[in-house]
Amino acid sequence: MKIVITRKIPPSIVSLMEDGHEVYMWDDEETVMPRQLLLQHAADADAIFTNVSDRIDKELLGRAPRLKVVSTMAVGYNNIDIAEAKKRGIRVGHTPEVLSEAVADLTFALLLGTARRVVEADRYTRAGKWKGWGPMLLTGQDVYGAAIGIIGMGRIGRGVARRAKGFGMHILYHNRTRKPEAEQELGAQWRSLEQLLSESDYVVMLAPSTPETHSMIGPRQFAQMKPNAILINTSRGGNVDEQALYDALTTGKIWGAGLDVFETEPIGKEHPLLQLPNVIALPHIGSATIETRLQMADIAARNLLAALRNERMLYSVIG
């Protein structure tokens, strides 16, 4: 059977799929597989090994009559037309759980880095601007003992809360359903979204990408936040209205933002948010540790192969 891999992955993972199968891999680690090339190879593909950057939509699925499985090297699958895949009997696998702690680490790193202006201070030093100690030079915000509001208390949210507990933070959370285990283990307190926004020094967006969460944080929500508040988003870019965020940052409605995700990725250097000194912007590297990415690739490959053998996948969205 033919397997299409849309991004360069380690040889050890490719070798898992080469046994008895024809494998085509887009041999570039950083650039997205060109759309026309993806459509061309999907036409006779039995399986696609994909990632968050690829658009596996109705058009592509309609051009892939042999396709049996789409396996994404990610937790989220909003780039895949799930309804269309289900209609066509195409199985879909993903890679949850394995990346939760890595993303929680990166989320808290962004929180600390934004609060203490780490990237800005590094650039200041490298540019030769440091002339001596100043009482208010590059002062930031306190983290220890501050209030953190976590939107989305899933596995990653609980991981962030555990780290916040170590910093003596007051932990608030908003979730569609209460999480008694998190409340008991971490001392987390449920709040309505409005309450969380008004009480938190740090608002951490970890909600999944759904029609309900699209632009969940917009002009009205920024108006409810503290002027010293910092927004951290390591969920999906579409969960935050980027124009509203830019306006909030430039008018002093909030103090700063740490972002690992954007509505359209990748972004160019001309993106408005990249022009602001009170923003740390990362290239969607929440799960980017060597160990985690290798585990994700391994699970995605094993999901794909299981589906081709008509066996149960390790983690499935469909089938």
For the question of residue 41 being annotated catalytic, the response is no
Out of 66, 265, 311, 312, the active site residue is 265
Is residue 316 within 8 Å of residue 85, measured between CB atoms? no
Other Cβ atoms closer than 10 A to 245: 25
Identify whether 176 is a catalytic site residue.
no
State the catalytic residue, choosing from 41, 236, 293, 302: 236
Catalytic member of 41, 163, 284, 293: 284
Q: How many CB atoms lie within 10 A of CB 243?
A: 14
DSSP string, the chain: -EEEESS---HHHHHHHHTTSEEEE---SSSPPPHHHHHHHHTT-SEEEE-TTS-B-HHHHHT-TT--EEEESSS--TTB-HHHHHHTT-EEE---STTHHHHHHHHHHHHHHHHTTHHHHHHHHHTT---S--TTTT-----TT-EEEEE--SHHHHHHHHHHHHTT-EEEEE-SS--HHHHHHH--EE--HHHHHHH-SEEEE-----TTTTT-B-HHHHHHS-TT-EEEE-S-GGGB-HHHHHHHHHTTSSSEEEES--SSSSPPTT-GGGG-TTEEE--S-TT--HHHHHHHHHHHHHHHHHHHTT---SSEEE-
Backbone dihedral angles phi then psi of residue 123, each to the nearest 5 degrees: -65, -40
Whether 236 is a known active-site residue: answer yes
Positions annotated as catalytic residues are: 236, 265, 284
